[in-house]
Amino acid sequence: MASDLTLMPDYVYTEEIAYKTAISEFENGVEQRRSLWPSPKHKFTLQYKNRTSAELATITSLFNSKLGALTSFTFTNPNDNTEYTVRFLEDSLKVDKVFYELHDFQFDVIEVF
């Protein structure tokens, strides 16, 4: 199945893997640990440099259709070809115009369960 985010990012992009652990410490010093997530979450910082207005329109259209960080979409990690269900981390998308018809933009997406 094709991912919703079809525009591949530049290399190098950043990938983070995070676990969520609850640690309860008792009065006698004993700790109890438990995982709050069924599996680790992945976070990706994707950057796009010197991209055309058409490529910017592709990302802007996806961002607007998902209402920023409200709803999820799919993204295929080009590093391992794994498809993740993610959402935008922020409700804003910053774009730098670097030259006529060329744009730089970067955003974070985080895996959702």
Q: Is residue 80 part of a domain?
A: yes
Q: In the predicted model, what is the mean pLDDT of the chain? A: 93
C-alpha 44: how far from chain center: 4
The pTM (predicted TM-score) of the whole model is 0.85
Q: Which two tokens stand for residue 86?
A: 């993610």
What whole-number distance in Å separates Cα of residue 11 and Cα of residue 8? 9
Q: Is residue 28 part of a domain?
A: yes
What is the three-class DSSP state of 56? Answer: helix
> Residue 58 to residues 4, 7, 29, 42, 62: CA-CA distances in angstroms?
10, 8, 54, 23, 6
Q: Is residue 78 part of a domain?
A: yes
For the stretch 13-54, pLDDT in tens is 899 999 999 999 999 999 999 999 989 999 999 999 999 999
* Number of domains observed in the structure of the chain: 1
Q: Is residue 8 part of a domain?
A: no
Question: Domain range holding 65?
Answer: 14-111
